[in-house]
Amino acid sequence: GFVPEAQQLLIDNISYNPKHILSYLPLISSYREERKFNDALQLVNTAIALNHKNSEVSDAKLLWWKACIYDDFGRVDESIYLMEQAVKKGKKIKEKGLEDFQKALAQMYYDAGRFDESDRVYNELLKVNSDSQLALVGISRNMIARGNYADALEVLLICERMDPNYHEIYRFKTQA
């Protein structure tokens, strides 16, 4: 975590220049690490309200942060909705971190037991990168959750042939 002095420097910087949205992100992260979710949410809402089109931080990125905070609170439906919005905006502006948004959305769907929606997101990732072991393992994990062990094992064996050092394969192979 951040030391209090570093947090204070960030707070001072935000007070001096509240429209410098990039300064908000490490403080939001710090608050989340300290489980100060209300403070993190208040800060991200302020950043969203002050953000402008030419900012170095996109609205999509701020929505991603907000979705993560709602997830921290355990507010599943709101976090999924916000992450869907982050992905949608990220696609529109070709966000650099779009794949991270999509991975987070697929994970949120999985955690909520919405495996078909999780598969849809992983399949979108595969359209961009057909060798995405993360997406293939995610799909196999969804198959395992549905009790479709044989197909899950097939997908995991494909992943293993692609790169036997990808550690997630083995964790899920033991479940398939």
Name 165's Cβ contacts closer than 8 Å, sequence gap at least 6. none
What proportion of the chain, given as a percentage, has pLDDT over 70? 99
- pLDDT over threshold 90, residue 3: no
pTM of this prediction?
0.88
The sign one gets for the Cα dihedral 14, 29, 45, 84 is positive
Name 113's Cβ contacts closer than 8 Å, sequence gap at least 6. 145
State the pLDDT at residue 1.
Answer: 59
Please tell me the distance from the alpha carbon of residue 15 to that of residue 153, in angstroms, as a whole number: 54
Q: What is the pLDDT of residues 4-57, one digit of tens each?
A: 888 899 999 999 998 889 999 999 999 999 999 999 999 999 999 999 877 889
State the pLDDT at residue 61.
Answer: 95
Q: What is the pLDDT of residues 137-158, one digit of tens each?
A: 999 999 999 999 999 999 999 9
Q: SS3 string of 43-66? A: HHHHHHHHCCCCCCCCHHHHHHHH
